[in-house]
Amino acid sequence: MFQRWAALALLLFVGTCAAAGKITFVPVPGVSAPPKGSPCKIDVIPGNIPAGKYLELGTINFHAEWHRARRGVKPEEAIQKIREWACQVGADAIMNIQTTEEKRLEFAFINVRVTAVRSGSP
Domain ranges of the chain: 2-119
Could you give the percent of the chain with pLDDT greater than 90? 52
Cα 120 to chain centroid, rounded: 24
The reported pLDDT for the residue numbered 3 is 46
Length of the chain: 122
Residue 86, CA distances (Å) to 44, 45, 106 in order: 11, 13, 32
The reported pLDDT for the residue numbered 119 is 86
CATH code for the domain defined by 2-119: 3.30.110
The reported pLDDT for the residue numbered 39 is 77
Rg from Cα positions in the chain: 17
The reported pLDDT for the residue numbered 121 is 61
Query: Which range has the worst mean pLDDT, 11-15, 26-30, 70-74, 87-91?
Result: 11-15
Question: Which pLDDT band, with edges at 50, 70 and 90, does 49 fall under?
Answer: low
**Which neighbouring-strand residues pair with 66?**
108
Mean pLDDT of the chain: 82
- 83-111: average pLDDT: 92
- 50-56: average pLDDT: 79
At residue 12, the 3 state secondary structure works out as: helix
Q: Give tens-digit pLDDT for 2-47.
A: 444 344 333 344 444 446 789 999 999 999 899 998 778 999 988 7
* Cα–Cα distance, 107 to 56 (Å, whole number): 34
The answer on pLDDT for 82 being more than 50 is yes
